[in-house]
Chain A
Amino acid sequence: MTLSNQNTYINNAIRNISIEKSLFWITAALMLVAILYPASMAIRAAFFENDIFTLAGFERILQLDTIVSDIWNTLIFSAGSMFGATVIGVSLAWVNARTDVPGVKAIEVFCVIPFFLSAFVGAIAWRLLFVPNAGMISMFLTKYGFPEFLLPDIYSLGSMVFIQSVFYSPFMYLYAVASFRQMDPTLEEIARIHGAGNWNTLRKITLSVNGPALLSGMILVFVMSVGTLEVPMALGSAGGNYVLSTRIWALMNNMPQDVTAASALGMIAIFIAAIGIIIQRRLLGNRKFTTVTGKGYKSKKISLGRWKWIVFTLAITYIIFAVIMPIVTLILVALQKFWTGSFSMQFFTWANFTTVLFEYDVTARAIKNSLFACSVAATISVIFALILSQIRSRNAEAFMGMLVLLPIVIPGAVFGMMVLFAFVKTPIYNTIFIIIFAYVIAYFYLAYRTIYSVRLSIHPELEQSARIHGASWFQSTRRILTPLLKPGIVSAWLMSFILFIREFSSVMFLYRHGTEVMPVVFFMLMERHSARLAAFMVIQTAILLLIMIIYQRFTSKNATGAAF
C-alpha cells in the first residue's frame, strides 16, 4: 500500500466517523426535543391561561374536596403496589434463579405473562370473579353459605393494590432475576464458609448485593403506579376511589373540561414520582455494584429440601391467580350470550367473537389500528435504537442513559396529556400518528437497552478490523454489525410491539373517533357489554401470547433481562 493510499484510508475513516457521530447527535437531539417539548407544553398548560401566568389551576384543585383523598390514595396505591410487586417478584426471581424448585422452566415462562396481559385486563377479569352479586367466585361462595361480608370488596383500595402488585410483579421479577443470575455465586459461598447461614446469606449478601438493581426496579413500579389508569379505571372509579391519574383524566374528559387544573394535578403527580426517585437516589448513593465474576464454578442452586413443594405450590398459586384464572374467566364470559355471573351452557354462543371481529365497526377498526400503530412504532423504535447505540463514547453513552430514562420518570397518564398538548394545534392531532409518537417515546428505553446490550457484547475490534481492511463505515455496519445485531433487533421489535399493544394509560388521552386502539375499546365496552369485552380481551391476549411465543423462539433467554 502506498503512502497516499494510506492517507485516503485514514481520511475516509475520519470522514465516516463524523457522519456516524453527526447522525447520532441529530437523532439524539430529535429524541430530546420529542420529550422536552411536550413536557414544556404541559408546564405551560399548568401555569398559563390565555397566555397569562396564573396559579388559578392550582387554586382550583386545592378547592376540590377530593384533593387530599386523591393524593392519599395515590400514595397508598403506588407505595403499596411497589412493596407488593417487590415481595412477589423478588421471591419468584430468587426461587427461579437460585433454588432447585421443580419445573423452573415452565414457571419462568408464566412469571412474565401477567405484565404483558396488562393490569387492565387482569383487573377486569378479577372484577368478573368478585363483583358483588354477579361475580363468578362471589356468587359461588355465597350460594354455599359463605358470609357475604367476608368477601373481598373488589372495588376497595386494598384490592386495587393487590391486583396492581400481582400484575406489576413481573417487572420486578425481570429486574431481580437478571441481577441474581449475573451475581458471582462465590459471593454467597464465601459468606457461608465464614459462618453465615441461609437467612444471613440471603439478607446480608444476596439482597444487599442486588440492592441497587432491586431499588431501580422498585422505583419504576412506583412511578408506573402513580401514572397508571389501568387498575384505577377498572376498579377504582367504580368504587369511588380516585387517584391522581383518574382525576386528571376526568378533568380532561368530563364536562366542563378544565385543562389548567388537570395540568396542575399532573405537576403534583410528577412531584410525587420525583420524590420517589430522590429517595431512591439517596438510598443508592453513588454505588453501582459491579460484581466481579471469576471463571468460577457453575452456580450451585440452593437445595430447598422439604420446602421444595411448598415453594412450588406458592409459585403455582401465583400463576393461577395472575395467568390462569384471568384468562379462563375471560374465555368463559366471552362464550356467553350475556353474563349472569355464572357459566351456563344454555347461553353458550360464539357470537361475541364474530361480533367484535367482523360486525362491530369500532372493535374491528381497533384491531387494525393497533396492529398498524404498534408495527410502525416498533420499527421506528428499532431504527432509532440502532442509530443511537452506534457511538461508543463516555459522553454519548451518558447522554443516552439520561435520555431514555426521562420518559420513564413521567407518570403514564401525565405523559399522555403532555403529548396531547404538544400536538393539539397540529394536523397530527387527529391521526393515529400521535399514538405512534407516544408509543415510541414512552417505551424507547426498551428497544435501546436491548440493542445496546447486544451491541456492547460485540467487540469493537470486529468492526475496527473491517475498517482497517478497507470497509467504509456504512459497509462495516451493514456487513459486520447488522448480522451480529440481528437477534437484538428481532427481540427489541417484538418486545416493543408487545408493550405497545397493551399500553393503556397514555392512549386514553390520545385517541379520537377513528383512531381507537384496542385498550381504548376495552374501556368503551367496560360498562356496556361484559361478554363482548371479554371476547375482545381474549383476542388481544391471543395476539399477545402468539407474539410472546415467537419471541421465546427467536431470542436467547437473557435478552429480556438485559433490556429492563
Chain B
Amino acid sequence: MSAFLKVENLSKKYGNHQAIDNISFEIEEKKLFVLLGPSGCGKTTTLRCIGGLEKPDTGIISIKNETISNNEDQIFVAAEKRGMGMVAQSYAIWPHMSVFENIAFPLRMSKFDKNLLANRVEEALDMVQLKGLGSRNATDLSGGQQQRVALARAIVGRPKLLLFDEPLSNLDAKLREQMRYLLKEIQTEIGITAVYVTHDQSEAMGLGDELIVMNNGKIEQSDQARSLYNNPKTKFVGEFIGTANMIEGHIIQRESNSCKITLKNKNSEQIIKARLSRHTDSEKGVLLFRPEWISIQKGISEKQENSIDGIVKTYQYLGDRSELILETEFADIKASVTDDEEYIVGDKVLIKINENKAIVF
C-alpha cells in the first residue's frame, strides 16, 4: 500500500529553538498514527504543520500524492482548504453555539446539503453517544461530554485526515480510558486516517497502529507498540516507553547480535550476556532490561550464569503480579514477577536476567 500522508524533511525553528529537525515519515490509509514524546519534543508542532496552523521552514507534506505544503515551490494550502478534522486539548467548544451548531459547523462551511445536514449531525452525535443532547448549550456539558462533542465535530465532515492534539489529557483517568476505547472504535468504524499526539505512553500504545517516538525535534524510532517495547532502538526509547532498569558496564565480547557486558564495582564484578542493540566501538555500555525480563530465586544459591545477588528492599503484592525493588551491588533493580511466592523485606535472592531480552546500548 502506498503512503497516504507523506512528510519529508520537515523542519521548523522558533527563534533559536529547533522545534522540528528534519524529520520524515509516512502514514498508511485508515491507520491511527501516534506521535509520542516528552513535552517540547516537537510532536505538536509537527501536527500543526500538517494541519496548516504552522508554516514549516523546510520540507514537503503531501496527502495522496497531492502536495499541501512545500517551501521550495511556495506551496502552502491554507488550513481551511486542507479538508481535515481536529480535536484539541482544550476541547475548543465554541461557547456561543449549541451542541448541534458546534457539530454542524464543518458541514456549513463546506456548503453541505441543508436537507441532509441534520441527519448527519444526529448520526455523529449518536456515534459519540450523546444522542439527544443537540439542543443543549455547549458549555453546560461536562468536560468528558465536551470532548465527545469535539470528536463528533471533527468526524462529521468525513475529513481526509483527523488530527488529535493530546485530546484526552484534560480528562480524569477513568474517563480517559473510556474515551480511548470509544475513539479507537469510531476511528476503525468509519475508517479514517488519524494523527494523534500524546505524551502518555499507555494511551499511545493502546491506540496507535504505528508510533513515532520523538525527542528534541528528531525521530528516535518509528515502529509498532510491541517492537518499541521489546526492541527499542535507542536508550531514550527504552527508557521512555515502559519501565526500564539500566546499569552501566564495560562491553567485553561482541558478536553480531549479542555481547557480554561486565558490571563492576569495588568488590566484585559480574558478566552478563545480552542482546547488542547496535554496533558500537565504545567500551562503555548500558544494560537495559524491563522488570519482567528477570526471574527471581529465593534463598542463597551458588553463582549462576547471567545472574546477580540481591536483597529484597520493598515488596508489593498486586494480585496478578508482585512488584519488588531489589538492592544489588550495582544498582537498585525493579522487578515484576507473576509467581505467587511471598517475599519479606531482607530476603536474599538471586536475580536472573533473560539474555534473549535484555539489551546493551
Contact = CB atoms under 8 A, between A and B. Distances in A.
Interface of A: 184, 186-187, 189-197, 200, 204-205, 208-209, 211, 287, 289-297, 300
B53 A189 contact: yes
B90 A191 contact: no
A289 B97 CA distance: 10
Given A289-B139, A290-B139, A294-B90, A193 B153 contact: no
15 contacts: A187-B92, A192-B79, A193-B52, A193-B53, A208-B96, A209-B94, A287-B95, A290-B95, A291-B95, A292-B93, A292-B139, A294-B89, A296-B88, A297-B48, A300-B54
When A and B form their complex, which 3 residue pairs have the shortest distance between CB atoms, in order from nearest? A294-B90, A195-B109, A289-B95
Contacts of A184: 90, 92
Given A192-B80, A193-B53, A194-B157, A186 B96 contact: no
B63 to A, nearest CB: 14
B78 A197 contact: yes
A99 to B, nearest CB: 16
Interface in B84-111: 84-86, 88-96, 105-106, 109-110
Given A189-B88, A193-B80, A287 B96 contact: yes
Contacts of A292: 90-91, 93, 95, 139, 146
A186 B90 contact: yes
B96 A190 contact: no
Given A187-B92, A295-B90, 20 more contacts: A184-B90, A186-B90, A189-B86, A192-B79, A193-B53, A193-B82, A193-B85, A193-B163, A195-B109, A196-B80, A196-B105, A211-B96, A289-B96, A290-B95, A292-B93, A293-B90, A294-B88, A295-B89, A296-B88, A297-B44
Contacts of B94: 187, 191, 205, 208-209
B37 interface: no
B79 A193 contact: yes
A196 B90 contact: no
Contacts, number: 94
B170 interface: yes
Contacts of A290: 95, 139
A128 B326 CA distance: 89
A200 B81 CA distance: 13
Contacts of A294: 88-92, 170
A192 B83 CA distance: 10
Nearest to B84: A193
A419 B109 CA distance: 55
B51 interface: yes
B99 to A, nearest CB: 15
Interface string B28-57: 000000000000000010001001111000
Contacts of B78: 192, 197
Nearest to B79: A192
Contacts of A289: 95-96, 139
A204 B94 CA distance: 10
Contacts of B91: 292, 294
Contacts of A196: 80, 105, 109
Contacts of B146: 292
A296 B90 contact: yes
Contacts of B79: 189, 192-193
B157 A186 contact: no
B82 to A, nearest CB: 8
Contact of A200 (B83, B95, B109): B109
